[in-house]
A and B are shown apart, each in its own frame.
Chain A
Amino acid sequence: MNSSIKNKNIEIFCGTGGVGKTTLATSRALYLSRLGKRVLIITIDPSKRLKQILDINETDIGKIKTIDSNLFYQRKNAKESSFDALLMAPLETLKFINNLNNISNDLQNPILKILMRPSGGLNEIMSIVELNRHLQSNKYDSIILDTPPGQNFIDFLEAGEKIHNFFDKSFMEIFKKFSNSQGLKTRGLFSNIVSSGISKLLSYLEKVTGNIFVNNFIDAMISIYKAKNSFLEALSVQEKFKTSKDCNWFLVTSVEQQKMSEALLLKANAKKYINDNIHLLVNKSLTPFLEKWKLEVDEKGSLLNLKNVLSKREQRFKDMHLSGFKQVVFFPEILCDSPQEHVFELNKAWEN
């Protein structure tokens, strides 16, 4: 079957919602740490499942936490190891960037606050900044990225384009003018920049949203603009996504959900950002149970139907190795309710 997959500098887990991306990504972190690798796992997903699995407090969000492998196999006598985990909090990343660039910001700005909320729109961009920062530190053999589901994953991939758009030429001009001016909040400022098309844009925006929004918005944008070098520098990391030397891709799906076409669509949409080193991970497979299940002669009827339906669902994924994946790897359904035990059991499945 599959020989175990060699770790890379960057390992990215993606897929539709509820397939077990976070649990599988965590099991990968545990597995690699047990091989003696230095591992960091970053989760971008605002649903914060990792918080529950890793027993992380609200106050630790946005900071690096070291996770002891004992958490996953208490009383199982395995060799001890540990890995680092980071749950994305965009505000913490912004604070880091501000310190780096010597910027003092009004973090109370209401637009900035909304932007910094989980799923507030900057989460994906900030995660690229974090990834770049920790790659540069050379502290880790592998950084595992647990990305948000579906369309939000594409948002993550498009983060680079977003940053470019954001610092688009006309946009930069206007903010240079604003940031050089004194008395930022005086309305008169708008009339001073009549020549620029941007001032017209802002005046339309002002008409609809009111000038308080526009002023807050400009303040927020200026403070982000000041840190633009940190953002633009982070973009270089996206080049690594495209080379199989640096990056493993794991597209996670689940037998339970039968979303084959969604998985293929995600792969197709991501094509220009990723490399051919993409593995399909099929989670919650019942095959091991179905193989052991022998129907008695008198148990035909509805139980036979149950077995046939469940087997057919498995088969659909087995056929997907033809769809351009480097490997299709099955992970068994884990029938227990402790999330830590899930991670532990799945970590064993990476071995073979």
Chain B
Amino acid sequence: MKEDTQSCLWQGFSHSKSNDILNRKLFIFTGKGGTGKTSLALAWAKYLIKKKRKVLFNDVGQNPDFELRRTLNVPYLNLDLSSCMKDYMAHKLGSVIISNWIMDTSFFKSLFKILPSLGYITFLGKIIKMLQDDQSLTIIIDAESSGHAQTMLESSFNFKDIFLSGLLVEDLHHIINYLSDKNNTTIFTLCNPSIMSITETQEFISQIYDLGIPEVYPIINNSYYKAGINNPPDFIKKKINLEKKSVKNTGFQEVIALPHLLELEDVKIINELTNQLKEIFH
């Protein structure tokens, strides 16, 4: 990726830009492990719901906390990779019975475990179809951490060269077009304010951008320097200085940064994040 595109991608959002982003249909949240993806994705859902948008939330490859989702009143779309694959096969072969039969053979079970890409493709395909069938719908995907999210996003690109024929090809192009259209899809990738975390995020953004997916934005989360602590003790001061140094040395000064929240309960954290998003995106 060229450097000018890179620095352009890492800028914050201007007002007009943030209005644009709000109109997207598909939001994917990823990032390094433990950066608060799920909390921010849920806060984003709450924020859009408050804006009277029709929102569905889905996570990938995790053990979701259903009670938290119920408490927050975020509508949950319970799609998993293997059921998407089953539906897809049933649709393409015109028979639910055959699809159930083949998907339950150990041959296919191991095939999909070893080639998770096939599941990812049908999962994204199904979500995109839902979005196209209902223009008023917005879907938020709480994806896995960056490496696996990358596998998910790459899968349709990788496989289009392998499936030169077959019923899948057209569908692959459909997914690729949807992901590559910045009027439809925005990806947020989270990092902590440390050099390691930011560097990994920058690598991820370049790789996704190189696939042809244009709208992928970094967000710095958990920053003490944004937490507004007056007269902090020495060790917090030291933390703040390290954070600021990391952000500066990696050229991430313009990137949106969310504060470390001094809360203990998930619900309170998510509500506070929702308020933060309101201030950023209005």
Q: Which residues of A contact B (CB under 8 A)?
A: 16-19, 45-47, 49, 52, 110-111, 114-115, 117-122, 149-152, 162, 165-166, 168, 170-171, 197-198, 201, 204-213, 216, 254, 256-259, 262, 265, 286, 289, 293, 299, 302-303, 305-306, 309, 312-313, 333, 335-337, 339
Bound complex: CA of A181 vs CA of B57, how far in Å? 49
Bound complex: CA of A305 vs CA of B227, how far in Å? 13
Bound complex: CA of A49 vs CA of B59, how far in Å? 25
Q: Do A171 and B110 contact each other (CB < 8 Å), given the known contacts A18-B192, A259-B34?
A: yes
15 pairs of residues in contact across A and B, judged by CB atoms under 8 Å: A18-B33, A18-B192, A18-B197, A19-B34, A47-B32, A49-B200, A120-B151, A168-B106, A170-B106, A197-B105, A207-B167, A208-B168, A209-B167, A313-B264, A335-B239
Q: Are A209 and B62 in contact (CB under 8 A)?
A: no
Identify which of residues 77-115 in chain B touch chain A, using a CB-to-CB cut-off of 8 Å: 88-89, 92-93, 98, 102, 105-110, 113-115
Distance to closest chain A CB from B155 (angstroms): 9
**B 50-84 to A, binary, CB cutoff 8 A, 1 in contact else 0:** 00000000000111000000000000000000000
Q: Are A337 and B246 in contact (CB under 8 A)?
A: yes
Contact residues of A: prevailing secondary structure: helix
Which has the most chain B C-beta neighbours within 10 Å: A47, A111, A152, A303? A47
Q: Are A213 and B162 in contact (CB under 8 A)?
A: yes
Q: Which residues of A contact B232 (CB under 8 A)?
A: 303, 306
Q: Which residues of A contact B63 (CB under 8 A)?
A: 151, 262, 265
Bound complex: CA of A120 vs CA of B150, how far in Å? 11
- Measured CB to CB, the nearest residue on chain A to B269 is A258
**B 157-177 to A, binary, CB cutoff 8 A, 1 in contact else 0:** 011011111111100000000
Chain A-chain B contacts (Cβ-Cβ < 8 Å), number: 164
Bound complex: CA of A168 vs CA of B197, how far in Å? 41
- Measured CB to CB, the nearest residue on chain B to A17 is B33
Bound complex: CA of A294 vs CA of B30, how far in Å? 39
Bound complex: CA of A259 vs CA of B196, how far in Å? 21
Q: Which residues of A contact B158 (CB under 8 A)?
A: 114
Q: Which residues of B contact A306 (CB under 8 A)?
A: 229, 232, 236, 262
Q: Choose from B89, B114, B159, B231 the contact partner of A166 (Cβ within 8 Å).
A: B114
Distance to closest chain B CB from A13 (angstroms): 14
Q: Which residues of B contact A52 (CB under 8 A)?
A: 196, 199
Q: Are B196 and A49 in contact (CB under 8 A)?
A: yes
Q: Are A210 and B235 in contact (CB under 8 A)?
A: no
Bound complex: CA of A18 vs CA of B32, how far in Å? 7
| Given A111-B115, A204-B89, A256-B34, 11 extra CB contacts under 8 A | A18-B34, A18-B145, A114-B115, A165-B106, A170-B105, A208-B88, A258-B264, A289-B233, A293-B235, A303-B231, A306-B232
Bound complex: CA of A254 vs CA of B98, how far in Å? 47
Q: Which residues of B contact A118 (CB under 8 A)?
A: 147
Q: Are A47 and B147 in contact (CB under 8 A)?
A: yes
Is B48's CB within 8 Å of the partner chain A?
no
Q: Which residues of A contact B115 (CB under 8 A)?
A: 111, 114-115, 121
Identify which of residues 216-254 in chain B touch chain A, using a CB-to-CB cut-off of 8 Å: 222, 229-233, 235-236, 238-239, 242, 245-246
Q: Do A213 and B32 contact each other (CB < 8 Å), given the known contacts A207-B93, A337-B245?
A: no
Q: Are A305 and B106 in contact (CB under 8 A)?
A: no
Bound complex: CA of A51 vs CA of B232, how far in Å? 35
Q: Which residues of A contact B113 (CB under 8 A)?
A: 121, 162, 165
- Measured CB to CB, the nearest residue on chain B to A117 is B151
Q: Which residues of A contact B144 (CB under 8 A)?
A: 151
Q: Are B196 and A171 in contact (CB under 8 A)?
A: no
Bound complex: CA of A170 vs CA of B106, how far in Å? 9
Bound complex: CA of A166 vs CA of B98, how far in Å? 21
Distance to closest chain B CB from A197 (angstroms): 8
Q: Are B114 and A16 in contact (CB under 8 A)?
A: no
Is B184's CB within 8 Å of the partner chain A?
no
Q: Are A305 and B262 in contact (CB under 8 A)?
A: yes
Q: Are A208 and B34 in contact (CB under 8 A)?
A: no
Q: Choose from B106, B146, B166 the contact partner of A213 (Cβ within 8 Å).
A: B166
- Measured CB to CB, the nearest residue on chain A to B113 is A162
- Measured CB to CB, the nearest residue on chain A to B114 is A121
Distance to closest chain A CB from B141 (angstroms): 16
Q: Are B162 and A212 in contact (CB under 8 A)?
A: yes
Q: Which residues of B contact A168 (CB under 8 A)?
A: 106-107, 110
Q: Are A201 and B235 in contact (CB under 8 A)?
A: no
Is B194's CB within 8 Å of the partner chain A?
yes
Q: Do A206 and B166 contact each other (CB < 8 Å), given the known contacts A49-B196, A151-B61?
A: yes
Q: Which residues of A contact B164 (CB under 8 A)?
A: 210, 212
Q: Are A119 and B147 in contact (CB under 8 A)?
A: yes
- Measured CB to CB, the nearest residue on chain B to A163 is B110
Is B138's CB within 8 Å of the partner chain A?
no
- Measured CB to CB, the nearest residue on chain B to A158 is B113
Bound complex: CA of A289 vs CA of B144, how far in Å? 33
Q: Which residues of B contact A19 (CB under 8 A)?
A: 33-34
Is B195's CB within 8 Å of the partner chain A?
yes
Bound complex: CA of A168 vs CA of B104, how far in Å? 14
Q: Which residues of A contact B163 (CB under 8 A)?
A: 209-210, 212-213
